[in-house]
Every structure is written in C-alpha cells, then in structure tokens.
Amino acid sequence: MSLLRYQVRSLMIVRAFERGALYPVPLDAIHTVSYLADALATSWRLKPLDNAVLKTQWVPRSQPLQTAVDRLTGMGLIRATKVEYVVRDSRHALQAEYAVDLDRAADVFAVLDGDSEWIAENTAIGEISFAVTAMGRERAPRAVLVDASYSDPLLDNNNVLSLSSGIDDEPTRTESAGRSLGAIAKERVGHALTPAELTSLYVRHLYALSGEA
C-alpha cells in the first residue's frame, strides 16, 4: 500500500475531527479510527489499509500510518502539538495531538472531495470519527481495546489479528458484532440500518463496554 494512501487516510481522519470536541486529535484516536475503518471495511465496501495488526495491550499503531502522519507534519499540512514520548511496558511511544491546516491542505481536499473513488472512504472515516468523538477524551482510547475483533479472548497479545483473509469477503468479528446489533435495532425501528447507523450503533456499544472495562 503506497504512502499516499496512508496520507490520504490520515488527512481525512484529522479533518473529520476538526469540528468536534476531540480536537486537536490525539494520535491514538487517529490510529483508532483507521483501525475501525479497516475492521468495518467490508460493511463500507472498502479495502482495508492494514489487514493484519499486532495485538498488544494498547491501541494498535500502524507503522505506515504513523509515517504518513509524520510526513504530513513535515509538509505543513497538519500541525503537531503536545509532543511527548511515553514509556509503556519498557517500550517508548509517541504521544501528540494533531490539527489540520485547512488553508494549506485545501487543494488536497478539493481533489478528495471531488473524486468519487474517495467518497466512500471519506464517508466511512467521517462517521467513525464522529462516533469516536462522541465517546469523549477518556473513553475514546479504549474503543479498540473492547472491539469484538481486538478483544477476542481466543487471541492473546503478541499475536496477529487478521482483518481480512485476502481471499474472500468474510466479515470480521467487528462486523459480525455490528450486524447482530443491527438486526436487533431493525426489529425495533422496522427497517435495515445504513452503514452509518450501524457504525454509530457499534461505536456506542463500544462506549458502553469501555465503561465496564
């Protein structure tokens, strides 16, 4: 997957948070949204960017996504603040918050917004980011940790979590869980939920779980 694809996704995510309460957007939230977009890729008819992630006790960090964020900072399209490095389990990790420079990035967004190829991904990213924003600063970082795929008890830390077999469109556990919630909701509202509604419902479910976790 090219660096450009990751840069586009990073820009989409940072912009999606722009008008919400979680802005400038913490780095973990960027990785969280990207992870959820991959975990829900089939529902949104997207191709996952990272179809395999290393399960740890933290939010999974995609190395190419991080490189993209760094490059965008260097190019001046996004700004970094509150840069610091934390030590978790004897391992160092970057923490920072990011804001988009809408003027500098205007040309890029003009292309993305006018290209039908990007619209589905942009919509998905927008919906997921919106739902994650609603979780609030405290619980948002825990969203991934209670996600159906990431928290699968059959998969211990330090194992590969596959989000796509690469062969078929088999739903991930995240999607299966979302669809189960959708089926219950359908009984109540009388119609099938849109991907956006399903996403929102699923992330709200993560909000509830993250409170119990």
Binding site for other proteins (CB under 8 A): 52-54, 56, 61, 63, 66, 70-71, 73-76, 79-83, 85, 91-94, 96, 153-160, 162, 166-167
Integer angstrom CA distances of residue 74 from 80, 85, 113, 187: 10, 18, 23, 50
C-beta closer to other proteins: residue 124 or 144: 144
Residue 174 Cβ, how far from other proteins at the closest point, in Å?
17
Residues with Cβ within 8 Å of residue 51, at least 6 apart in sequence: 38, 162, 163, 164, 166
Residue 189 Cβ, how far from other proteins at the closest point, in Å?
30
How would you classify the pairing of strands 91-100 and 78-88?
Answer: antiparallel
Instruction: Please state, in angstroms and rounded to a whole number, the distance separating the CA atoms of residues 142 and 159.
Output: 19
DSSP 146: G
C-beta closer to other proteins: residue 75 or 184: 75
C-beta closer to other proteins: residue 102 or 119: 102
C-beta closer to other proteins: residue 66 or 123: 66
Residue 146 Cβ, how far from other proteins at the closest point, in Å?
16
Residue 87 Cβ, how far from other proteins at the closest point, in Å?
8
Please answer whether residues 132 and 22 qualify as being in contact, where contact means their C-beta atoms are separated by less than 8 angstroms. yes
* HSE-up (13 A, CA, CB side) for residue 1: 17
Residue 129 Cβ, how far from other proteins at the closest point, in Å?
22
C-beta closer to other proteins: residue 91 or 191: 91
